[in-house]
């Protein structure tokens, strides 16, 4: 019965599963921690990230195998309780002791996977009825697995599309200041508002899909510098800045996006009970925006015409907004081993965005100069 309830809550029920003593929760607790311990000992960052990325798909396979094994054992114990009333093809009665247990498990396994070998024949009505029931369960189990995998990977694919698109808009890894800087052009506030609308919908999809299928949280992005958590936090950082500093349409949409993104972040943290873990207390003392980074943040925003350091009220608002989500993000980051984005991106020697912007500026300057020469010629 426990397997039926757990599989129903994990696969079929379209809402967060409840109950502390669930097979799926016990499985993730007993497998994820040892996995992170082994991965944490790897010195090579790329190899470590590759090791973490294998956990999601592998845990899905192992979870399905665990369910199947428990079903086999459960039905096998029913057969054993009936006295293992089976006879093999040679007409020999099942012997007593351990042989009965082996025969009961063998019959359960072949019945669950609907092999229909017929080498062991039941000779009681109760055993025949139970075999029919287990055959139906086996067919249903296979059908659920077949339907479960496409749903998971479709949700994963939809999630990754926006994360990949954010690379060109906020850098890799994404940061709030880079996102604002790349929208610091004429009409950029409109483009930024449209982007926040898309991410409000994305956060709602994450809330719906990842609450129903928490295993998706362990699935990592294609590139080591990207993750669904870093993208979500980068959007929350951006909304925090817009709410704290700006007035206008972008600020209004930032409030809507912030509420939905924070809702998704906190609910996902509750799924893994991050508030009850040791990391919750430890991460509360870690500041994502120390004084040095805050100074660089002020410089970048100042270049864009957004005043933060000169306005104490704006700085206080930013601190208040950050307190609404940062501790949850840091605890979830520690649990999933997904690093959070910085507030200000590190300087890169080869920045493609800067190069493209320079070329575009030079092309625009050349076009203006050409027009001026033509006017003088006339």
The span from the CA of 180 to the CA of 175, in Å, is 9
Cis ω before 173 (30° cut-off from 0): yes
The DSSP result for 156-213, as a single string, is HHHHHHHHHHHHHHHTTTT-HHHHHHTT-STTHHHHHHHHHHHHHHHHHHHHHHHHH-
358 token code pair: 């320079």
Q: Which helix (H) or strand (E) holds 227?
A: none
Domain edges within the chain: 2-145, 166-363
pLDDT of residue 235: 95
Higher-pLDDT residue of 361, 339: 339
**89 CA to centre of own chain:** 51
* C-alpha to C-alpha distance for 189 and 198, rounded to whole angstroms: 14
Q: Is it true that domain 2-145 has CATH number 1.10.10.60?
A: no
- 304-324: pLDDT as tens digits: 666 666 667 778 888 899 999
Query: What is the mean predicted confidence (pLDDT) over 279-292?
Result: 74
| Overall residue count recorded for the chain in this entry | 378
Chain mean pLDDT for the chain: 81
pTM given for the model = 0.82
Chain segment 153-182, per-residue pLDDT in tens: 889 999 999 999 998 888 888 999 889 888
| Helical residues (DSSP H) of the chain, grouped into ranges | 2-7, 23-40, 45-53, 55-81, 98-112, 125-170, 176-181, 188-212, 228-245, 249-271, 278-283, 291-303, 312-322, 326-336, 352-377
Q: How many CA atoms lie within 13 A of 225 on its CB side?
A: 12
- 94-129 pLDDT, tens digit each: 556 677 888 888 888 888 888 777 778 888 888 889
- Angle between helices 125-170 and 188-212 in degrees, nearest 10: 160
């Amino acid at each position: 019965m426990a397997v039926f309830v757990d599989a129903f809550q994990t696969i079929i029920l379209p809402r967060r599963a409840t109950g502390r003593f669930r097979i799926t929760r016990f499985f993730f607790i007993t497998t994820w921690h040892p996995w992170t311990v082994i991965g944490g000992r790897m010195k090579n960052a790329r190899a470590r990230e590759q090791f973490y990325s294998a956990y999601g798909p592998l845990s899905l396979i192992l979870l399905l195998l665990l369910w199947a094994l428990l079903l086999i054992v459960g039905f096998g114990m029913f057969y054993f309780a009936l006295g293992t009333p089976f006879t093999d093809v040679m007409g020999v009665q099942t012997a007593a002791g351990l042989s009965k247990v082996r025969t009961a498990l063998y019959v359960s396994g072949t019945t669950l996977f609907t092999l229909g070998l017929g080498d062991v024949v039941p000779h009681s009505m109760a055993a025949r009825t139970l075999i029919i029931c287990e055959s139906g369960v086996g067919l249903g189990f296979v059908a659920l697995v077949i339907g479960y995998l496409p749903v998971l990977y479709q949700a994963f694919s939809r999630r990754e599309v926006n994360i990949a698109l954010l690379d060109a808009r906020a850098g890799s890894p994404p940061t709030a200041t880079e996102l604002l800087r790349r929208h610091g052009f004429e009409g950029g506030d409109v483009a930024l508002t449209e982007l926040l609308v898309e991410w409000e919908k994305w956060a709602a999809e994450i809330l719906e899909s990842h609450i129903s299928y928490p295993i998706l949280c362990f699935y990592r992005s294609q590139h080591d510098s990207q993750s669904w958590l870093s993208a979500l936090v980068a959007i929350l950082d951006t909304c925090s800045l817009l709410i704290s500093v700006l007035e206008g349409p972008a600020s209004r949409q930032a409030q809507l996006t912030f509420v939905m993104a924070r809702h998704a972040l906190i609910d996902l943290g509750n799924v893994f009970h991050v508030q009850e873990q040791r990391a919750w207390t430890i991460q509360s003392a870690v500041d994502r925006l120390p004084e040095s980074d805050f100074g660089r943040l002020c410089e970048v925003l100042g270049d864009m015409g957004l005043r933060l350091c000169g306005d104490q009220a704006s700085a206080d608002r930013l601190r208040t907004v950050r307190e609404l989500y940062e501790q949850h993000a840091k605890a979830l980051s520690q649990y999933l081993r997904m690093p959070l984005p910085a507030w200000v991106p590190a300087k890169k020697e080869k920045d493609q965005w800067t190069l493209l912007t320079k070329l575009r500026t030079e092309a625009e300057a050349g076009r203006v100069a050409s027009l001026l020469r033509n006017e003088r010629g006339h």
